[in-house]
Amino acid sequence: MSVRHTGVTTDPVIVRDDEQAACDVREVLDRIGDKWTVLVINELAHGVRRFRRLQRDVPGISQRMLTLTLRRLERDGLVVRTVYPTVPARVEYALTPTGHSLTSVLKAVADWAAEHRHTVIESRARWDSGTGAPGPGVDA
Amino acid sequence: MSVRHTGVTTDPVIVRDDEQAACDVREVLDRIGDKWTVLVINELAHGVRRFRRLQRDVPGISQRMLTLTLRRLERDGLVVRTVYPTVPARVEYALTPTGHSLTSVLKAVADWAAEHRHTVIESRARWDSGTGAPGPGVDA
DNA sequence: CCGCATCCATCACGATACTG
DNA sequence: CAGTATCGTGATGGATGCGG
């Protein structure tokens, strides 16, 4: 375990090795790697939303999955749930600062996708063509 | 976002909205969101690896899952597989440039995890403690 | 309007055994 | 060493119906 002095963080100077980092990534992926979480977060990034609105804006999501997703996000402190005791109960969901900070990461992923999507699709097409011919360079 | 970045435009200059971005994120997550992919990528980020070595260095992975994971990565052009026709066949796996570029994204995720892990764990603990006690400044 | 409960299909994954 | 094939299982998620 080596010690560096990047001084970027306020943490002690012990550097997290990449095995630890990989483990962290897996943890996060276990949270946001499911089918709906990122879509819900993305929608909430636009602002406060009510349940129905979310279900409309996230096409294809079922009530059950929306509820489950929101509960998990709330449990992890990424989303806050506010209930207004009106007659037909009204509930609003909003990102916490922590939740909002996740959008930066999501953006990084989106940027990567935008840049490499074409390459990946191409590679997949070659693979599915049955040919083992790598062609002119696997990557640009 | 950077659409004009790529000179390859079959479409007019359409700006990617965040719904498109969210969709991209989901696609990527479908690839790397599984149990082993990021761990294998992380290992390959260290350098070229043979099958056995990978299985040893990624604790808990089965032969089957390692094969599946590597095949998917190869199909998507993130990993190259090289076979040496020696007597006991020898196979080496390595990240392509595209695959390597993913490590940057993974690092972003790891950084987020490192920074917010504690907060999330805390929030989860509160949630599991039944409820009711909103801690100090969870939300703004 | 909001959300939980139940049933059910699918699939990712693990264990095991076998081949080249 | 480097896989492939097969089977069993738990988790994920969709559909539906009820409750507050």
User: Tokens for B81?
Assistant: 């597989």
A77 CA from D18 C1′ (Å): 30
Rounded Cα–Cα distance for residues A41 and A99 (Å):
8
Q: How confident is the model at residue B17 (pLDDT cuts 50, 70, 90)?
A: confident
- Which regions of chain B does DSSP assign to beta strands (E)? 49-50, 79-84, 90-95
Percent residues over pLDDT 70 in chain B: 81
Alpha carbon separation from A9 to A16, B111, B118 (Å, rounded): 12, 11, 15
The predicted model gives A13-19 an average pLDDT of 70
Q: Do B97 and A139 meet the contact criterion of CB atoms below 8 Å apart?
A: yes
First to last CA, chain B: 28
Pairing of strands A90-95, B79-84: unpaired
Give the residue ranges with Cβ < 7 A from strand C.
A 50-53, 63-64, 67, 70-71, 81, 83, 88-91; B 34-36, 60-65, 68, 88-89
Name the nucleotide nearest A52; use CA and C1'.
C1
- Residue-wise pLDDT tens digits, B36-69: 999 999 999 999 999 999 999 999 999 999 999 9
Whole-prediction pTM value?
Answer: 0.83
Q: Do A135 and A126 meet the contact criterion of CB atoms below 8 Å apart?
A: yes
Angle formed at CA A114 by CA A108 and CA A119, multiple of 5 degrees = 125
DSSP for A45-79, written as a single string: TTS-EEHHHHHHHSTT--HHHHHHHHHHHHHTTSE
- Residue-wise pLDDT tens digits, A36-89: 999 999 999 999 999 999 999 999 999 999 999 999 999 999 999 999 999 899
